[in-house]
Each structure stands twice: as C-alpha cells, then as structure tokens.
Amino acid sequence: MKLPIYDLEGKKSGEIDVGQSLSSPVRSDIITRCFLAEQALTRQPYGTDWFAGKRTSAHYHGERGTRYSMMNKEMARLRRIHGNQGYLSMTARFSPQAIKGRAAHPPKSEKNWLIKVNKKERMLGLISSLAASSDKSIILNKGYVLPENLNYYPIIVEDRLEKIKNTKEAVNLFRKLGFEKEMERSSQKKVRAGKGKSRGRKYKKKAGPLVIVKDDKGASKSIKNIAGFDCVLSKDLSVSKLSPGGHPGRLVILTESAMKELLGVINKL
C-alpha cells in the first residue's frame, strides 16, 4: 500500500510504500491492557497516616474487680475514654466502628500498582493502535471531522514540518490540509459531571490529532499551543498517545522520517 506525502502547502509531493505493515488486525483487548499498564506507572502511591484514629487516651478495662471495669455492665468491650471528661466519659474510641476511630482497611502507600506486560505484547499494542489509525471508519467512529479531500490515513507530511517554530504557521498548515473543522471540534470543552469539578478537573477536553516527528526542531512548542493537538517523538510513541482512554482510532499526522523509522521497527518484528 502506498500513502501520499504532502508538503507545507497541503499539496501532494510524493508517495511512500508502507506495504502491509499497517494492515495488521486491531486487537482492542491488547490495546486496553497496554493502556492500563502505562497508566499504572503514572499513579502516585497514597495512603493514610499510620496513627490516624489512634491518637487517643482511650483504653480497655476488662479485668474483674477493678475500678471502672466494664465487666457485667452490659456494654461493648471497646476502648473508652476514662476520667473526668464530662460528656466524653466512657465514649468509645480507636475501634473502626467507634466515632473518630481508625479506618478498618485504609489505603496503604506500600501497594504496588505495577501491571506487567510482555515486550512483544506491548509492541503488538502499538502496532494495533497504528493499524486502527490507518482505518478511516474507525477514525470516524471516534468523532473526528475529516477533510473530504483526504482518503488515506495516517497523513504523512514532509520533514519541513519538524522545523516549524511558530504556532501560526502550524495552524496555517493544518488549515491547508483541511482540518479547520477538526480544530474547531478539538477546541471545545465542557464542564465535567460529578464531584470532579471541585477536585481540580472541572473541564473535559477533546483529544485531537496526534503529530509524530522524528526530531524535535521546534515543532512541539508550536503544536502544543493548539487545543487538542499533541506532538510526540517517534521513539517515545506509546499506546496512551495513540489510543487515549484505551480506545483505538486516533487521527495521526506523521513526518516522512518518522514514518520510515516506524516502518523499520515494525518490519524487524
């Protein structure tokens, strides 16, 4: 299979033969597994204070024949506050079922969130994600607004894209390729439903096209200012970038050198 190469004016300037490297079956199950494994590596360990709910003078009186003994008084044998404490006298503390008691099974910072994935399985997840990004029907199901003049995906642009250092130039390039409506869609954001609004994630944004370059000569700074667009090096490509949320079919724009590098890696497998 041959894919067209476009210049910075949005016109076809050549072709590149990708063979059958992008026609592998889309394994959504492996993509989801690889995505969850990558997300697990980014989780920050968290846990409760070791002495939370235990900072109390409450203690247990269970011996017979002693002062303030709880024997034969028809009360639960819990640790209780003793002494001249007023309304707090004989109030249960420390136990999980008591007011201001410790948590029964709190989260622990020692928990290991790592999810192991085989190297071949991880590479298969990447190849499947690239294959999904070359299927126009899958891309359309993700909600992207595709240009009418482009029929082959992923979109390959000449290497001069890597040298673009101005956001205005990058916007003009994507408009010439026909992504004006897609840029409008990617710039939309909505208020999240639920309590996440008060936890630092009030808005939800669209995941727009992903730009893949071989060498970053200023393209990342110019593209990251466009809402929804992401730029990544070909050697740092991951399933999380190609399939955000674990759902394959992201719109991908590559430079010619990045495409050749990815083809070299895929053909070696």
Kindly tell me the sign of the dihedral angle through the C-alpha atoms of 160, 162, 163, 169.
positive
pLDDT in tens, 242-256: 999 999 999 999 999
Residue 89: per-residue pLDDT: 87
Instruction: Give the least confident one: 11-20, 105-114, 132-141, 185-194.
Output: 11-20
Residue 90: per-residue pLDDT: 87
Tokens of 55: 């900072």
pLDDT in tens, 18-59: 888 888 899 999 999 999 999 999 999 999 999 999 999 998
Spatial CA neighbour of 8 closest among 117, 145, 155: 155
Within the chain, all domains assigned CATH 3.40.1370.10 are found at 2-26+117-268
Instruction: Give the least confident one: 1-10, 108-117, 120-129, 201-210.
Output: 1-10
Options 3.20.130.10, 2.40.30.30, 3.40.1370.10, 3.40.1280.10; CATH of 2-26+117-268 = 3.40.1370.10
Mean pLDDT of 96-124: 94
pLDDT in tens, 224-236: 899 999 999 999 9
Distance CA 101, CA 88 (A): 14
What SS3 class is residue 221? helix
Residue 31: per-residue pLDDT: 96
Mean pLDDT of 193-202: 94
